[in-house]
Structures are given as C-alpha cells and as structure tokens.
C-alpha cells in the first residue's frame, strides 16, 4: 500500500471534509423549472471550464493530501460533456491513502442519455448513480423539464440497473401543488423497480428566484403520506444527508433530504468545485475561491491544496434558509452543481 501522507481537512466547526462534488459543465439539455430559466442561459465557453486534466488534478490533491474518499460528478448535466467515461476512468484510479481503496465515485444525472452510457460508465469505474425524475406522468414531466421525455429517463433508470449499479437512486424534488400528488406513486415505482427514491425538499436555488417556503413539502409530510400506505421504520445511519426509511414488508427503502426543514449542516462533510473551477464550501456559499487561475498560472500542488484549505477555513456553521439572515446565492443550482 502507498504511504499515507494525508492529513484530514477540518473546518472551523470541527467537521472533517472528505466529499468532493465536481460540476463538470454548466450546460444542460433540460430546463427544469426549479433550476434553470427556459430561455436566455449564457453558457460558459469551452475554454472557461475545467479540462478533464484539471479536474483530475484537483480531485487527486483532495484525495492524496486530505484523504477525501467520495467524489460525485454533477452539473449542469454531466452526460452532455464529451467522452465522459474517460474522466470516470481517470478518477477511478485514485486511491484513498488510509485504506488503499478506490474513492466512492458517484454521479447525478437527468438520465436522458444514460441508456447509451450506462455500460461504459460502469466499466470505467463509476460506482453509483442518482437519476433525477420529478414526475411519472409524461405531460407533467415534459412541462417540468421544459424539453425532457419521460420514456428516455425511464429507459436510463432501467439501463442503470441492467449495468449493475446497485442501488440505483432516483431523485425527486417535491413541490407543493406541482407534484406532491405523486409521492405514493413514486414510492410504488421504487418498490416495483427495485430503485431507491430520494425525495428532496425544494430549495431556494431556482434560477427565477421565485422559491417561497409555502412551496416546500416538508420531509415529515412525505414520510407520513407514504407510511400511511406502506408502513415504514427509520433506518439508523451515519452522516449522509438523506434520512432513510425501510418498508416493513421488506420491499426496499426510500430517503428524504430535508435540506430546508431539517438542515444537516452539522454533519456536512463536503465541498464543491464549479465547472469554472471555483471552490464553494456550501451549496449556499456567498464566497468562492478561484482555483482556475491558480491551475492555469503554474501553481504547485501545494498552492492548490492551500487554496482549498483556505476556503474550508471559511466554512460557516450552516445555511439559514427560511430565516431573515438568509442570503440567496447569486447562482442557480445548475451553475453551482447540485
């Protein structure tokens, strides 16, 4: 096993940071109402986003220097980036110094091209996938995503299972008056298909800035609605943001991510890198650290590691959605990387 020279990266509140979310593009083939405006997105130029080499370098520094053991690829829509399996192959080579194990390499995707990519991504070393799908009704799905086709996403979910991803998770953002009548339908879909639904509370990261608290369906209400039909019990677990519930009849489990009503900031172990190489120490951070300039001006690995540590040194205790001191980030979810 390689020598372990890593030292944990600890934020001012004593939380060890070990999870890296990398947005590899700001582009997307969908226009989900809660994420992007229908028209007028200004995409970054190709030269303005991190290359695969630069992404790999930042990831390697986080893993080798600081012992990160989880990486999630996101966007925008990661599958719109060309030759994605090549990036996955490179990241899959990284080894966590303390254990010698590969990093837990995951991706979040809208699933529209996953049927074409699932086998290649699995072979390249992707370990886990979350596929987003907010309605099981074709017309509503199209209205919610602007231009998506439900059939293709369902094929993507099927392909993920066939390729051997296990568990396949399906992310559902629940919005009052939009899709909150489908919670039990999704539970049934998860039970039938053998996939784990992750219900997510709607967060104030919509590009239009129209979010309001009354559009949030609290996690508690989601669990009650499903539990009334299929009895569940909470699963005791570690630091992951989702609270998981197991069906008492043994037909699997689902999770709820209560970012708004029960923030999990005190267990937060992640940082993010945007497509243009900015470190964000929180989804709702108002400050970013510019790695892109460092990467393109001959900085050493030490310089980059120090910049990442400097950003983590500014990490706050937590966001304050719904309170008067909450500051909405200037960017929407697709630009930050969900």
Indicate whether 80 belongs to the interface with ligand SF4 (CB under 6 A).
no
Q: Is 120 left (phi over 0), alpha (psi -120 to 50) or beta?
A: alpha
Q: Quick one: which segment of 15-23, 74-82, 209-217, 282-290 binds ligand SF4 (CB under 6 A)?
A: 74-82
Indicate whether 77 belongs to the interface with ligand SF4 (CB under 6 A).
yes
Indicate whether 172 belongs to the interface with ligand SF4 (CB under 6 A).
no
- 233's CB contacts (< 8 A; 6+ apart) are 245, 246, 248
Which lies closer to ligand SF4 via its Cβ, residue 6 or residue 29?
Answer: 29
- Spatial distance between the Cα atoms of 68 and 308, rounded to a whole number of angstroms: 12
Question: What is the smallest separation between the CB atom of 68 and ligand SF4, expressed in angstroms?
Answer: 23
| Contact string (CB under 6 A) for ligand SF4, positions 124-163, x = contact | --------x-------------------------------
CA 221 to chain centre: 23
The residue from 24, 35, 124, 285 that contacts ligand SF4 (CB under 6 A) is 35
Question: What is the smallest separation between the CB atom of 280 and ligand SF4, expressed in angstroms?
Answer: 16
Residue ranges with strand state E in 11-159: 16-17, 19-23, 70-74, 104-109, 128-132
Shortest CA distance to 155 belongs to which of 116, 189, 182? Answer: 116
Which lies closer to ligand SF4 via its Cβ, residue 32 or residue 124?
Answer: 32
Q: Quick one: which segment of 28-36, 160-168, 254-262, 304-312 binds ligand SF4 (CB under 6 A)?
A: 28-36
Q: Longest C-alpha distance within the chain, in Å?
A: 59
Question: What is the smallest separation between the CB atom of 100 and ligand SAM, expressed in angstroms?
Answer: 30
Between strands 168-174 and 70-74, the pairing is unpaired
Q: Measure Cα distances from 286 to 110, 263, 331, 337 in Å.
A: 26, 18, 9, 14
User: Residues in the site for ligand SF4, rule: CB under 6 A?
Assistant: 28, 30-32, 35-36, 75-77, 110, 132, 333-334
């Amino acid at each position: 096993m390689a020598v372990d020279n890593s030292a944990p990266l600890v934020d001012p509140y004593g939380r060890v940071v070990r999870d890296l979310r990398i947005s590899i593009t700001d582009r997307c083939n969908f226009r989900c109402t809660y994420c992007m405006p229908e028209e007028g997105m200004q995409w970054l130029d190709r030269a303005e986003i991190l290359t695969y080499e630069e992404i790999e370098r930042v990831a390697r520094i986080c893993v080798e220097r600081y012992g990160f053991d989880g990486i999630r690829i996101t966007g925008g829509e990661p599958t719109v980036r060309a030759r994605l399996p090549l990036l996955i192959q490179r990241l899959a080579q990284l080894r966590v110094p303390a254990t010698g194990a590969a990093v837990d390499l995951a991706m979040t995707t809208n699933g529209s091209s996953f049927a074409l990519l699932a086998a290649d991504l699995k072979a390249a070393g992707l370990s886990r996938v979350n596929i987003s799908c907010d309605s099981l009704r074709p017309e509503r799905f199209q209205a919610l995503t602007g231009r998506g086709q439900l059939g293709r996403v369902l094929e993507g979910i099927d392909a993920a299972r066939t390729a051997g991803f296990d568990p396949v998770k399906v992310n559902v953002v629940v919005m009052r008056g939009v899709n909150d009548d489908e919670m039990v339908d999704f539970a049934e879909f998860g039970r039938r298909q053998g996939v784990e639904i992750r219900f997510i509370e709607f967060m104030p990261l919509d590009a239009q800035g129209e979010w309001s608290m009354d559009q949030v369906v609290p996690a508690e209400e989601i669990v009650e609605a499903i539990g009334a039909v299929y009895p569940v019990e909470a699963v005791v677990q570690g630091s992951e943001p989702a609270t998981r519930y197991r069906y008492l009849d043994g037909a699997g489990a689902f999770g709820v991510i209560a970012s708004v009503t029960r923030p999990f900031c005190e267990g937060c172990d992640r940082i993010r890198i945007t497509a243009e190489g900015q470190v964000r120490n929180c989804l709702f951070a108002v400050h970013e650290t510019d790695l892109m300039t460092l990467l393109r001006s001959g900085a050493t690995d030490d310089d980059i590691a120090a910049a990442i540590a400097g950003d983590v040194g500014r990490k706050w205790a937590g966001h304050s959605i719904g309170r008067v001191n909450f500051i909405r980030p200037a960017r929407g979810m697709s630009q930050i990387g969900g």
